[in-house]
């Protein structure tokens, strides 16, 4: 907008300069020409009294040489023929006999172009005998254009100064208009990147001040909404402490045995998860995010640990379990609790939405730029994968809140990866989680891809 304003002012000023400077230069040129010919007419009139007294060529020649123009050879007098003498020319003529005769015939001053440049003024003058003599004055081109070049240079300088001045003023005005808009755009980028303290100075033109006020109000509202959401999450999580305490006390009375130990371990894990949610909410930071340098975990170790927990339940339900790719260390940029939560969400869906005795498998593939975790089963599959991937949508399934796959999605997208649903080689559902190691989104064909970014998914 700044350069657009400068260009507009430059174009307008240039048009104004041309519209006034060119006609003014032409007027100056015309005035210089009129001044030169008026001076020639005055010089021609100086010889008029002598012609009214005498027509003697000798005396006239002396009189012509005493004038300013005659002294420099720029005056000539053409006497008509009489009964006693032929026509007489005093001085050199420049216009020619035909032009002299025409001037004598019409009886008024005329001008004629001269070979080699310049003009000649021919002024008719009455003699005492009643005849007409013609006085010719040479007007050089330098005298006709005297001062015109200087005037054009002055006009060009004034026009250039006006153009430069208008550009400078337009640039200052444009900066005054653009600077608040740039601050507003920068603050919007900062807010979009998560820097919630970004605000805009309420300065500049009226419209931009109104936009700044609206932006600051919106940013304050976003901060307030996020604070309310964090407090709500913390409060809801804190309310779970009472039933968890009751569960922990009840597990103490279960005695010994694998089932009792599993129940107590599950209660302890649930307490840890609740504590993590409360701390995360109170610290006012998102639960998931890009891992910093040195952060992450060994995916194979976490998967082995969680499979040890779920395999007991699988054995009780008669499910065949296959685990592959976890025999070596696989480092990923995801915190251990986050990966464990994602695995529990995927495996919980297998146990919740497939009949007992349905086999399932967990595979880990370590590529050069990503780690792929596959959880597949031999169940009935998912009729509508898109609906299953939408946050808060349970797809009409009993016992589902629709948040399990959203947890998995957020963990994958925190690394630049994604989640896809497809058909597994076992005949049921396959959840493919791409955990990017270099920030590039990866994925295969034949699957439904989670659209990155909640805004994009809602818009689509």
Residue 294 has pLDDT above 60, yes or no: no
The pLDDT of residue 361 is 94
Residue 255 has pLDDT above 60, yes or no: yes
Mean pLDDT of the chain: 79
Q: What is the mean pLDDT of residues 257-277?
A: 76
Determine which of 99-108, 209-218, 239-248, 332-341 has the lowest per-residue pLDDT on average: 239-248
Confidence band of 286 (pLDDT split at 50, 70, 90) = very low
Q: What is the mean pLDDT of residues 73-102?
A: 84
The answer to whether 389 touches 343, Cβ cutoff 8 Å, is no
Confidence band of 390 (pLDDT split at 50, 70, 90) = low
Confidence band of 283 (pLDDT split at 50, 70, 90) = low
Confidence band of 358 (pLDDT split at 50, 70, 90) = very high
How far apart (Å, rounded) are the C-alpha atoms in residues 277 and 286?
Answer: 10
Q: What is the mean pLDDT of residues 212-223?
A: 88
How far apart (Å, rounded) are the C-alpha atoms in residues 29 and 224?
Answer: 75
Residue 82 has pLDDT above 90, yes or no: no
The answer to whether 320 touches 378, Cβ cutoff 8 Å, is no
The answer to whether 406 touches 458, Cβ cutoff 8 Å, is no
The pLDDT of residue 453 is 38
Q: Of 6-10, 87-91, 243-247, 360-364, where does the model show the most confidence?
A: 360-364
Confidence band of 63 (pLDDT split at 50, 70, 90) = confident
More confident residue, 250 or 1: 250
Residue 289 has pLDDT above 60, yes or no: no
Confidence band of 449 (pLDDT split at 50, 70, 90) = very low
Q: What is the mean pLDDT of residues 133-159?
A: 87
Determine which of 9-23, 147-161, 286-300, 328-342 has the lowest per-residue pLDDT on average: 286-300
């Amino acid at each position: 907008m700044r350069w657009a304003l400068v260009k507009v002012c430059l174009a307008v000023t240039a048009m104004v300069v041309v519209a006034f400077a060119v006609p003014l230069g032409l007027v100056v040129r015309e005035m210089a020409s009129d001044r030169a010919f008026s001076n020639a007419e005055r010089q021609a009139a100086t010889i008029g009294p002598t012609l009214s007294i005498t027509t003697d060529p000798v005396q006239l020649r002396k009189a012509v040489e005493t004038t300013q123009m005659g002294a420099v050879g720029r005056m000539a007098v053409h006497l008509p023929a009489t009964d006693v003498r032929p026509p007489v020319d005093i001085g050199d003529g420049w216009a020619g006999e035909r032009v002299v005769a025409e001037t004598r015939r019409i009886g008024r001053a005329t001008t004629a172009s001269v070979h080699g440049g310049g003009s000649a003024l021919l002024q008719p003058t009455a003699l005492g005998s009643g005849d007409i003599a013609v006085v010719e004055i040479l007007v050089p081109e330098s005298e006709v254009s005297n001062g015109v070049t200087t005037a054009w240079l002055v006009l060009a300088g004034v026009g250039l100064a006006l153009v430069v001045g208008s550009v400078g003023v337009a640039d200052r005005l444009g900066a005054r208009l653009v600077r608040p808009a740039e601050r507003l755009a920068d603050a919007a980028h900062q807010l979009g990147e998560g820097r919630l303290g970004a605000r805009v100075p309420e300065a500049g033109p009226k419209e931009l001040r109104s936009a700044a006020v609206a932006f600051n109000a919106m940013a304050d509202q976003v901060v307030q909404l996020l604070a309310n959401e964090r407090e709500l999450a913390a409060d809801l999580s804190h309310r779970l402490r009472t039933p968890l305490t009751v569960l922990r006390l009840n597990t103490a009375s279960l005695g010994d045995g694998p089932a009792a130990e599993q129940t107590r371990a599950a209660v302890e894990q649930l307490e840890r998860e609740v504590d993590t949610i409360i701390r995360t909410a109170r610290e006012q930071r998102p639960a998931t995010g890009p891992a910093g340098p040195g952060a992450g975990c060994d995916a194979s170790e976490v998967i082995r640990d969680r499979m040890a927990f779920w395999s007991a339940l699988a054995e009780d339900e008669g499910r065949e379990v296959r685990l592959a790719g976890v025999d070596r260390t696989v480092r990923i940029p995801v915190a251990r609790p986050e990966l464990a939560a994602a695995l529990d969400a995927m495996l919980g869906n297998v146990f919740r939405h497939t009949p007992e005795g349905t086999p399932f498998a967990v595979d880990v593939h370590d590529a050069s730029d990503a780690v792929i975790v596959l959880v597949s089963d031999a169940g009935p599959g998912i009729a509508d994968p898109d609906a299953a991937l939408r946050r808060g949508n349970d797809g009409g399934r009993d016992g589902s809140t629709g948040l399990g796959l959203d947890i998995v999605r957020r963990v994958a997208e925190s690394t630049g990866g994604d989640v896809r649903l497809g058909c597994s080689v076992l005949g049921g559902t396959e959840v493919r989680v791409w955990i990017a190691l270099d920030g590039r989104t990866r994925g295969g064909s034949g699957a439904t891809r989670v659209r990155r970014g909640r805004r994009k998914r809602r818009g689509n």
